[in-house]
Amino acid sequence: MNSSRSLYIKIGLILFLFVVVSIINSSIRLRLFGANIENEEIVNSSIKNEINGIFYLEKAAQIDSTLKSITAKNHFNGNVLVAYKGNCIFKKSYGYADLNKKEELTTESIFQLASLSKQFTAMAVMILKEQGKLSYDDTVTKYIPELPYKGITIRMLLNHTSGLPNYMWLTENYWKEKNAPYNEDIIKMFEETKTPIYFSPGRRFDYSNTGYVLLASVVERVSRKRFSTFMEDEIFIPLGMENSFVYSSSFKTRKNMLKGYGIRGKRYRVIDETVNDGTVGDKGVYSTIDDLFKWDQALYANTIVSEETMNEALSGFKIRNKYNVNYGFGFRLTQRDNKKVVYHHGRWNGFRTSIYRFVEDNNTIIVLNHTSTSLNSTIIRNIEKVFSDTSATDITRDVISTIIDSGIDSGIKKYYNLKLSSGNVVLDTLKFNQTSQILTKEKNINLAEKIVLFKTMYVLGELDTNFMNEKYFLKSLSLAN
């Protein structure tokens, strides 16, 4: 009798708690779902950027600490940008623009991109291909008939399988003029000297600067524009890359344009221009860290050419249907944790440049260095280590971003979908508080309150997964027995 009475009391208490929690939950839900996104809750892009910035402050501080250490030990002089999930979370300059006068670098400093220029040259060819003005499998002699090499296609130039001789050897041995030769001069020297090719076209992969010089010439002849003009019209201006341009021997030094430095003895000295500076396509694009980020994001968004065209450009190929080559059109390819990474390095006359694009996650690391010190790979590896564990931060950011963009209802669905797919979901409560503070500061009180209520209800209270959960309720009844 007493045991039955005790059982009824326990069941009664559980039912009472269920009702109380239901009332509380309903009250909170009413406040949460009073509206999806009211007009006063709409968040503009600048506030979104400020909110995005709070998620990776600690990571940015770690990157800065690492780079300060590398700079102190190895005299790194350059700019670094890190983008995570499509957002720039770190951008900073280290060292000097003028190493002798000790004038500090800024993020507006303009670097020679060296071989990073090849991806821009490849894009110019892709644009013309989409315009129907050329085909990748056209022979180069279709556009440069005086070239004494038959059977070489545009695709072979793009993926370094042409077998063409090194034009730099040609200029150093045959060029006698005072001014540095331009691309057309290189073509004329090949025509006159008939320098033998290294191997039959398409037989091997052999990294070729010559191939990209000829690609720039193809662009000029097909478009009937100077290569620099074509790049401005089709890439730099449309993307808002206001501080990017192609080298020309006719222009004078521009504001913020850097010189490259090499070490002689124990001192850095400016590297003078060489006979090979006049050619473009293989190098010759100048840009800033900000403009390169615009370029990077345009590639992710397929702003310039179609997704189909980009996919082909970022894919490897086989030589003679046997040997895999991890090179696309102006990009090298590799894997990190079974995910695709698209990258390239550049080195020319004291400049060392690198871009790593973790394309499946929309993450990017850009390092621009205007000294001959080989620190770029070390810097990139250290930055990768910093981001080895960001799961809690990433999930929190995804949930909060969903709430801001689509409303609380979508945020709750996102949260439960993550729990279903990942099991235990850990959210960073501090980020909810910081987001609410930013929204409150910007007078977006309704959304700020909803962010806090979401944290209270789902992150701290877990009401829906305890008393409001039918399985939990039935389990409680079984324990009472």
**pLDDT value at residue 448:** 87
At residue 454, the pLDDT reads 83
Q: 115, 348 in Cβ contact below 8 A?
A: yes
Distances (CA, A) of 376 to 93, 106, 130, 347, 412: 14, 18, 34, 11, 42
DSSP calls for 199-223: S-TTS-----HHHHHHHHHHHHHHH
Give the type of residue at 324. N
| C-alpha dihedral sign at 406, 411, 416, 418 | positive
Question: Which among 108, 47, 142 has a CA at the least distance from the CA of 243?
Answer: 108
Using DSSP, state whether 270 is helix, strand or coil: strand
Q: For position 321, what pLDDT does the model report?
A: 79
Secondary structure letter of residue 251 according to DSSP: S
**Three-class DSSP category at 319:** strand
Domain ranges of the chain: 27-53+391-480, 111-386
Distances (CA, A) of 93 to 89, 107, 260, 361, 369: 14, 6, 16, 25, 10
Element (H, E) at 366: strand 363-369
Q: Is there a catalytic annotation at residue 115? A: yes
DSSP-derived secondary structure for 26-76 = HHHHHHHSS-SS-GGG---HHHHHHHHHHTTHHHHHHHHHHHHHHHHHH--
What's 449-481 look like in SS3?
A: HHHHHHHHHHHHCCCCCCCCCHHHHHHHHHHHC
Question: What does the block give as tokens for 237?
Answer: 């201006």
Token code pair at residue 202: 């398409």
Model confidence pLDDT, tens digit, residues 193-225: 999 999 999 999 999 999 999 999 999 999 999
Catalytic residue among 93, 115, 217, 476: 115
Q: What's the pTM value of the predicted model, to 2 decimals?
A: 0.82
The helix or strand, by DSSP H or E, that contains position 435, with its residue range, turns out to be helix 429-441
| Regions in the chain scoring below 50 on pLDDT | 19, 21-24, 26-35, 37, 39, 462-481
The CATH number for 111-386, chosen from 3.40.50.10900, 3.30.70.1060, 3.40.50.300, 3.40.710.10, is 3.40.710.10
Joined tokens for residue 89: 């979370």
What helix, strand, coil percent values describe the chain, rounded to 5?
50, 15, 35
State the pLDDT at residue 467.
38
Give the pLDDT confidence score for residue 473 in this predicted structure: 35
In 248-362, DSSP assigns E strands to 261-264, 267-270, 285-287, 317-319, 323-325, 332-336, 339-348, 351-358
| Predicted local distance difference test score (pLDDT) of residue 453 | 84
